[in-house]
Amino acid sequence: MKRTAPALLAAHNISPRGRSFGGGNAGYYDYMKGLPDFETSMAAEGSSLAVSFKKK
């Protein structure tokens, strides 16, 4: 599915430290951080919710 700007994506059970919470998602945060069109961060410190905003 193609997302056009502005778009917001939220994903749960994500770890920014490369640990998996059981869903095979250990690389998701790094992948999203590497996409130039997205700004990705954790919702709060210690949270497992990643939020990504499509900038362009």
Taking only the tens place, the pLDDT of each residue in 16-34 is 765 555 555 768 888 999 9
Q: What is the pLDDT of residue 15?
A: 83
Higher pLDDT, 37 or 22: 37
pLDDT above 90 coverage of the chain, percent: 30
Q: Are 37 and 55 in contact (CB under 8 A)?
A: yes
Buried-state track 4-19, b at ≥16 Cβ within 10 A, e below 16: eeeeeeebeebbeeee
Q: Are 13 and 21 in contact (CB under 8 A)?
A: yes
Q: What is the pLDDT of residue 6?
A: 83
